[in-house]
Structure 1
Amino acid sequence: MEYNRRKFISFLGKASIGTVVLPPFLVSCGNMSNPTEKNLKSSSEVLDKLRNLAIEGLFPSNKDDLLLANGLDYHVIVRWADKISEEDHFGFNNDFTCFIPFDEENPTDGLLWVNHEYVNPMFVSGFDSSKHENPDTHRTKEQVDKEMYNVGGSIVRIKQTDGKWKVVQNDPYNRRITAKTPIQLNWDHPIKGSSTVIGTHSNCSGGITPWKTFLTCEENYDSFFGETVYDKDDQPTHRDSSQGWEKFYNYPPEHYGWVVEVDPKTGSAQKHIAIGRYAHECCTLYELNDKRVVAYSGDDKNNEHLYKFISSKPGSLKEGTLYVADTINGKWLPLDWESQPLLKERFKDQTEVLIRAREAAKILGATELNRPEDIEIDPLTGNVFVSLTNNYGKNDFHGSILKIEETNGKYDALTFKAYSYMAGGEENGFSCPDNLAFDMAGNLWFTSDMSGSKMNKEDGPYMAFKNNSLFVIPRHGEEEGKVIRLASAPLDAELTGPWFSPDGKTLFLSVQHPGEQTKDLANPTSAWPFDEDGIPKPSVVAITGNLIEKMNKLHLLEKS
């Protein structure tokens, strides 16, 4: 264990406390930040204080509750079906969270964006396919409409009063974006005859832009309207979805699978075609000195790829080039129809390349990866970290973390070095890394994504880990390099979307799909969050306490 601990710290990399690599828009929004030497007496003094920090982690648990380590508390901010306005309620299966304060001088009042990834029809619409020999003949349009409303995202104004975060009821900013919301395509050419499409769904993780708008990413888009697949002769056929919405609404699959930008103050949205179409887990932006942006995104599916978009104009997510990673040779390969003869042989134009990005990536020889999920930039070293959750087909049950070092630290570089460290497994105490977040002192926080159908099974690979959890790897002091479990999820649930408040005193976190394995609403597998009706409800919580403030100690000392 000690060898692995040293190896992991070496893998993460070291940097001086004064290092600043992130652009101001990331620093000010609270998801990640940089300590600086301003107002610090000395680096050694700060590190001496950090060495006094002792963290008592949790043991694996299969208890039906959200358990937290000593020094942490939580309260529920909002849960599924809570009213957020006279017209709207909070959606189902919340995932990514992002908080933007109205005023950087007041970090306790602002707008919270929350993704709603997918639905469990039994809970949301009352449709239970197991009760019908031929389920399709019993499903109704009204049930599908309920399901469509409960995906997409929510914008809610939240304020902290007396240490508790609460939704400001009926605030004019509170609104829903759903699978029925009209959304513009940010592209010069219509897709399947449309420049405005209906709705967003499959919203997994996301990101934030330098101009303070939210990015929400459409991941398993084929679950709702299916997919168009092409044979070797380039002839298309339709592959049915698992949810069957296309039986009620004939929306083209090509309208989904994009990165969606949402203006928090107006609710207006657009889909960014230039970033490509695939199962986006996230979209992480970096703003260059000349105001051009680089956007990293991964395709969360077995044997798919890592991408980055480099804009050619300041502030544009339309003008530029999409690249896919060859991690073996350390090259970013341009998915550019004009310059790639192999792509011209298969596709008619750049729009088709972007729609069929997965095919284009494989034609160019991009490296197949094991479910690339969240991507974050290390505030201490500037390296890009990618969680590779698992790949059952390759007997990779526990996943790994990939580190990308762009050449000369330039995010618009076209070459890089890639390092893979197999962090998952019993020896290191966690499995299936998913969402990543760096706090203000550079500590690495991450959640796990073990499938609910495979957790806590005696004959499965995850029995030792029990419920999904939240972990941290400290970068300083005596706990440096240890993998420490700080939270354990309720039964069947997954912890997602970690996002820090700008002052580093709150961690916003989603508790997604508790009780997902329920077969009978009268006997749910989870009762969390223990409402009177006994029905499990996906919810967003605020985690606070002395431990979080201590973990952000470098930043807090800077402010003192």
Structure 2
Amino acid sequence: MEYNRRKFISFLGKAGIGLAIVPPFLTSCGNTTTPSKNKGVTDAGYLEKLKNFELKDLLASDKDDLLLTEGLNYHPVVKWGDAISDNDTFGFNNDFTCFIPLDENNPKDGLLWVNHEYINPLFVSDFNYRDYDNPAEHRTIDQVDKEMYNVGGTIVRVREENGQWKVVKNDPLNRRITAQTDIKLNWDSPIKGTSTVKGTLANCSGGITPWKTFITCEENYDGFFGETKYDENNKATHRPSRYGWEKFYEYPPEHYGWVVEIDPRTGAAQKHIALGRFAHECCTLYELEDKRVVAYTGDDKNSEHLYKFISSKPGSLKEGTLYVADTENGKWLSLDWENQPVLKEKFKDQTEVLIRAREAAKLLGATELNRPEDIEIDPVTGHIFLTLTNNKDKGDFHGSIMKIEETNGAFDALTFKASTYIAGGEENGFSCPDNLAFDMAGNLWITSDMSGSSMNRKDKPYMPFKNNSLFVIPRYGKDAGKVIRVASAPKDAELTGPWFSPDGKTLFLSVQHPGEQTKDIKNPTSTWPFDKDNIPKSAVVAIQGEVIEKMNKLRALEA
């Protein structure tokens, strides 16, 4: 195990202290934090304490609570149903979070963006599918409207006062983006007859642009309005959705499955067609020296693909080329209709290629991956890290994290080296990696996503891990290279959207879908966060404590 750990530390990659400070591209893009300037640690006594700092590994737990390792504490910031203004409430099933300070000199006051991925009708619209043989026939438009309101995202101003992050209620910047919000398409050609569509949904992870706007990604969009399927003769048919919204609103499936950009101050939104249509888990951006943008995004479905968009103009997410990864040969394959004869044979133009990106990627021979989810850029080495959550159909129950090294470290390179960074499983202490975050010292934080129907069951391979958890892999100090559990989620929940405050002292984290396996609302499987009504509620929490502060300063030991 010691040999593996040494190899693991080397594989992660180290750099001198001068390089360990977050580079300008991550500062501007806000990869997993929006860091303020760090003057480092020079006090000899404090450095000695850091040398003796030991992070305690939290035991796996199936308890219905958010448990934290010693040296950490949390408080809820906002939860489902909380009022953010006189007119709006916080949505359901919060996922990705990110924070932009209103003033770069004040890390304790800013705008928090939060995704709302999907709904559970039992809680949101008082509809229980189990009560009907044909549940779609018994839905009402009022119920669907409630559900449509509860997805999308929330912009809310939060401020830290006396160590507690709180919502600034009725701040003029507080707003909801829902499944009924008008959103423009950033494309020259209309899609299904329009250039403005209704709403965003299935919002999973996201990012921040170099120009300080929010990115939110539409993942499992087909659950809401279904999907268009094509047979071998290119004839289209409609596959019904899980929720059946298409029975009430005739919104084409092609209007969903995109990367969406939100202006934090106005709420104006646009969907970026050039980045392709599929189950986007996230979109992580890198700004080149000439201000062109590179965007990495993964398709979170079994045997789907990793993509990269390279813009041809500064600051554009429209002009440029979308590529898909051949990880076996280390090549980025162009999804360019003009220059790919195999695409011209199948599709009528570039718009159709982008709408049917999955089919196009397979025609080009892209590598099938095991649910490519979150993507983050290592602030020390510049390597790209990609979570492959699992693929049960192929016998991969525990997933892994892939590392991509672009040729010569150039993010616009068309060749790369791919390797397995670390595999999930009992030996390494975690399963089903989902979201990633690098802190200001380059320590890697990992959340897990074991499904609620598989957790804590003796007939499933996930029993040893119990509830979903948050892990960290320290880069420096005596625990360097260890996978350490620092938080355990409530029952049925997963922990998502880790994002550090600009000063590195707070970790914003979503607790999503506690009590998801509930069949009777009067007898929920979870009651977290323990409100008086005993109804489980997703919430964003702020995690603080000496562990986070010391972790962010451990790089000083390498000086």
Instruction: State TM-score, norm by structure 1.
Output: 0.96
Residues 1:20 and 1:352: Cα distance change in structure 2 (over 3 Å): farther
- Assess if the C-alpha contact under 8 Å between 2:34 and 2:501 holds in 1: no
**1:486 matched to which residue of 2?**
486
Query: In the alignment, does 2:508 pair up with 1:502?
Result: no
For residue 241 of structure 2, what is the amino acid of its counterpart?
S
Residue 473 of structure 1 deviates from its aligned partner by 0.2
Distance across 2 between alignment mates of 1:555 and 1:427 = 27
**1:282 matched to which residue of 2?**
282
3-state SS of 1:18 partner: helix
Residue 461 of structure 1 deviates from its aligned partner by 0.7
For residue 31 of structure 1, what is the amino acid of its counterpart?
T
Distance across 1 between alignment mates of 2:97 and 2:324 = 26
Residues 1:39 and 1:58: Cα distance change in structure 2 (over 3 Å): closer
Residues 1:355 and 1:45: Cα distance change in structure 2 (over 3 Å): farther
- Assess if the C-alpha contact under 8 Å between 1:17 and 1:35 holds in 2: no
3-state SS of 2:26 partner: helix
Give CA deviations for 1:68-91 in whole Å, capped at 9, x if unaligned: 000100000000000001110000
**1:323 matched to which residue of 2?**
323
- Assess if the C-alpha contact under 8 Å between 1:260 and 1:269 holds in 2: yes
Residue 192 of structure 1 deviates from its aligned partner by 0.5
For residue 152 of structure 2, what is the amino acid of its counterpart?
G
For residue 231 of structure 1, what is the amino acid of its counterpart?
D
Distance across 1 between alignment mates of 2:523 and 2:17 = 52
3-state SS of 1:338 partner: helix
Distance across 2 between alignment mates of 1:165 and 1:422 = 34
Residue 205 of structure 1 deviates from its aligned partner by 0.2
- Assess if the C-alpha contact under 8 Å between 1:160 and 1:166 holds in 2: yes
Distance across 2 between alignment mates of 1:21 and 1:278 = 35
**2:292 matched to which residue of 1?**
292
**2:67 matched to which residue of 1?**
67
Distance across 2 between alignment mates of 1:192 and 1:163 = 50
Give CA deviations for 1:321-352 in whole Å, capped at 9, x if unaligned: 00000000000000000000000000000000
Residues 1:37 and 1:92: Cα distance change in structure 2 (over 3 Å): closer
**2:384 matched to which residue of 1?**
384
Distance across 2 between alignment mates of 1:45 and 1:381 = 29
Residue 7 of structure 1 deviates from its aligned partner by 2.8
Distance across 2 between alignment mates of 1:178 and 1:502 = 28
3-state SS of 1:505 partner: coil
Identity %: 75
Residue 104 of structure 1 deviates from its aligned partner by 1.1
For residue 171 of structure 1, what is the amino acid of its counterpart?
D
Give CA deviations for 1:39-88 in whole Å, capped at 9, x if unaligned: 6669x999866432111120000000000000100000000000001110
**2:475 matched to which residue of 1?**
475
| 1:321-360 correspondence to structure 2 within 5 Å | 321-360=321-360
- Assess if the C-alpha contact under 8 Å between 1:51 and 1:476 holds in 2: no
- Assess if the C-alpha contact under 8 Å between 2:40 and 2:556 holds in 1: no
**1:118 matched to which residue of 2?**
118
- Assess if the C-alpha contact under 8 Å between 1:17 and 1:380 holds in 2: no
Distance across 1 between alignment mates of 2:253 and 2:338 = 25
Query: In the alignment, does 2:277 pair up with 1:269?
Result: no
Distance across 2 between alignment mates of 1:554 and 1:268 = 40
- Assess if the C-alpha contact under 8 Å between 2:20 and 2:555 holds in 1: no
**2:248 matched to which residue of 1?**
248
Query: In the alignment, does 2:17 pair up with 1:17?
Result: yes
Give CA deviations for 1:221-244 in whole Å, capped at 9, x if unaligned: 000000001111111111111111
Residue 486 of structure 1 deviates from its aligned partner by 0.3
- Assess if the C-alpha contact under 8 Å between 1:50 and 1:476 holds in 2: no
- Assess if the C-alpha contact under 8 Å between 1:35 and 1:554 holds in 2: no
- Assess if the C-alpha contact under 8 Å between 1:17 and 1:36 holds in 2: no
Residue 245 of structure 1 deviates from its aligned partner by 0.6
Give CA deviations for 1:4-34 in whole Å, capped at 9, x if unaligned: 3223222211222211696536326483478
Residues 1:77 and 1:33: Cα distance change in structure 2 (over 3 Å): closer
**1:208 matched to which residue of 2?**
208
Residues 1:48 and 1:442: Cα distance change in structure 2 (over 3 Å): farther
Residues 1:37 and 1:172: Cα distance change in structure 2 (over 3 Å): closer
Q: Which moved more, 1:102-111 or 1:129-138?
A: 129-138
- Assess if the C-alpha contact under 8 Å between 1:18 and 1:36 holds in 2: no
Distance across 1 between alignment mates of 2:457 and 2:404 = 35
**2:32 matched to which residue of 1?**
31
Residues 1:401 and 1:494: Cα distance change in structure 2 (over 3 Å): same
Distance across 2 between alignment mates of 1:282 and 1:527 = 30
- Assess if the C-alpha contact under 8 Å between 1:471 and 1:487 holds in 2: yes
- Assess if the C-alpha contact under 8 Å between 2:35 and 2:503 holds in 1: no
- Assess if the C-alpha contact under 8 Å between 2:47 and 2:557 holds in 1: no
Residue 37 of structure 1 deviates from its aligned partner by 9.9
Residues 1:324 and 1:22: Cα distance change in structure 2 (over 3 Å): farther
| 1:135-534 correspondence to structure 2 within 5 Å | 135-534=135-534
Instruction: State TM-score, norm by structure 2.
Output: 0.97
- Assess if the C-alpha contact under 8 Å between 1:30 and 1:502 holds in 2: no
- Assess if the C-alpha contact under 8 Å between 1:374 and 1:435 holds in 2: yes
Residue 132 of structure 1 deviates from its aligned partner by 1.4
- Assess if the C-alpha contact under 8 Å between 1:468 and 1:488 holds in 2: yes
- Assess if the C-alpha contact under 8 Å between 1:202 and 1:219 holds in 2: yes
- Assess if the C-alpha contact under 8 Å between 1:369 and 1:388 holds in 2: yes
For residue 85 of structure 2, what is the amino acid of its counterpart?
S
Query: In the alignment, does 2:91 pair up with 1:91?
Result: yes
- Assess if the C-alpha contact under 8 Å between 2:177 and 2:267 holds in 1: yes
Distance across 2 between alignment mates of 1:418 and 1:36 = 32
Residue 101 of structure 1 deviates from its aligned partner by 0.3
Distance across 2 between alignment mates of 1:37 and 1:259 = 32
For residue 538 of structure 1, what is the amino acid of its counterpart?
S
- Assess if the C-alpha contact under 8 Å between 1:203 and 1:218 holds in 2: yes
Distance across 1 between alignment mates of 2:40 and 2:477 = 20
3-state SS of 1:19 partner: helix
**1:51 matched to which residue of 2?**
51
Distance across 2 between alignment mates of 1:30 and 1:285 = 8
Residue 433 of structure 1 deviates from its aligned partner by 0.4
3-state SS of 1:246 partner: helix
Considering only aligned residues, what root-mean-square deviation do their CA atoms show, in Å?
A: 1.9
Distance across 2 between alignment mates of 1:37 and 1:268 = 33
For residue 70 of structure 1, what is the amino acid of its counterpart?
E
What are structure 1's unaligned runs of at least 5 residues? Answer: none
3-state SS of 1:530 partner: coil
**2:542 matched to which residue of 1?**
542
Distance across 1 between alignment mates of 2:528 and 2:34 = 33
- Assess if the C-alpha contact under 8 Å between 2:47 and 2:556 holds in 1: no
3-state SS of 1:155 partner: strand
For residue 305 of structure 2, what is the amino acid of its counterpart?
H
- Assess if the C-alpha contact under 8 Å between 1:30 and 1:500 holds in 2: no
Distance across 2 between alignment mates of 1:39 and 1:398 = 37
Distance across 2 between alignment mates of 1:374 and 1:147 = 26
What are structure 2's unaligned runs of at least 5 residues? Answer: none
Residues 1:239 and 1:37: Cα distance change in structure 2 (over 3 Å): closer
Residue 116 of structure 1 deviates from its aligned partner by 0.1
- Assess if the C-alpha contact under 8 Å between 2:99 and 2:499 holds in 1: yes
Residues 1:249 and 1:471: Cα distance change in structure 2 (over 3 Å): same
For residue 26 of structure 1, what is the amino acid of its counterpart?
L
Distance across 2 between alignment mates of 1:430 and 1:532 = 34
For residue 376 of structure 2, what is the amino acid of its counterpart?
E
